[in-house]
Amino acid sequence: MRLDELKERLLAALPKGSVLSGEPLRLHTTFRIGGPADLYIRPGDEKELAGAVRVCREAGMPYFILGNGSNVLASDLGYRGAVIEIGRALGEIRVEGERIFAGAGASLAAIAKEALSASLDGLAFAAGIPGTLGGACVMNAGAYDGEMKDVLESVRLLLPDGTLCSMSPEELHFGYRATDIGALGAIVTGAVFKLKPGDAGKIRARMEELREKRQARQPLDVPSAGSTFKRPKGDYAGRLIEASGLRGYAVGEAMVSAKHCGFVVNRGKASSSDVAAVIAHVRKTVLDDSGILLEPEVRFLGEFAEVGICPSPET
């Protein structure tokens, strides 16, 4: 099916203005990097999301689910497929007793703020994670000894056949920065948190403590995708990278952060090729020095043939 025909089918299923052609992905990633997507879709609810996915699947069009783009490196060449944004339209947050019901497009910061307002303890660790609930569930996001699996009761999923269901973290085998959600071909549409009553003052103090730690240790003033690499067993990516003498290593405008070696940052006008080259060099150097192959935490969207990686993250 031609691209214009697919767009017409999507426009028939979705409201006007929700389907864009050639949208620059640099506008939708925290790296501020990325070329145009063939199609960029903004569904307004679960029904529209299911409709967009159905049309793409029937047409054989690759698609990629995007939250706020905080863990994504998009190719300079863009994406030959449809990027489906799960954003504020799917960002409802509702507190009921000790549970919080949230849509996949809600930010973790907003959910943590609602928990604080309701004096519910358990989400302080998530307040500074720059992502949305959907991506956080897929990756079992965590920080400062807290993980999503510790506070989630269930995850609501859109399955490949178009049905909706809810599954527990145990059923989805939540592990370190990994779950079975991708393997199922499922899309997160929301989740339920089960928290504990707490003291609002103590929760606020803990959130402030973690905020200050992040500001002191992480390069929050420049574009990045957060932690670039997963933590290797028994060690830290940042320590291994520094031990290999790579603090400040740069290709073009992409650089290993001098503030925290676990972050690759965009100093201004870095290309995806610059970032990918830094990542490839860091992995090779650390492997040569320590025997440990660092696994990227960032997801690659599009083609990166210049460093020998052409990942296919689409559902």
* Residues with a known catalytic role: 177, 227, 297
The CA distance from 149 to 270, in Å, is: 34
Q: Which amino acid is located at 79 in the chain? A: Y
CB atoms within 10 A of CB 64: 21
Token pair of 162, please?
Answer: 């178009």
Residue 68 burial by Cβ neighbours in a 10 Å radius (0-12, 13-18, 19+): buried
The CA distance from 36 to 301, in Å, is: 11
Q: Are 190 and 91 in contact (CB under 8 A)?
A: no
Concatenated DSSP letters of 103-146:
ETTSBHHHHHHHHHHTTEES-GGGTT--SBHHHHHHHT-EETTE
CA angle 278, 284, 286 (to 5 degrees): 95
Concatenated DSSP letters of 160-214:
TTS-EEEE-TTTTT-BTTB-STTTTT-EEEEEEEE-EE--HHHHHHHHHHHHHHH
Q: 218 by DSSP, 3-state: which?
A: coil
Q: Are 72 and 225 in contact (CB under 8 A)?
A: yes
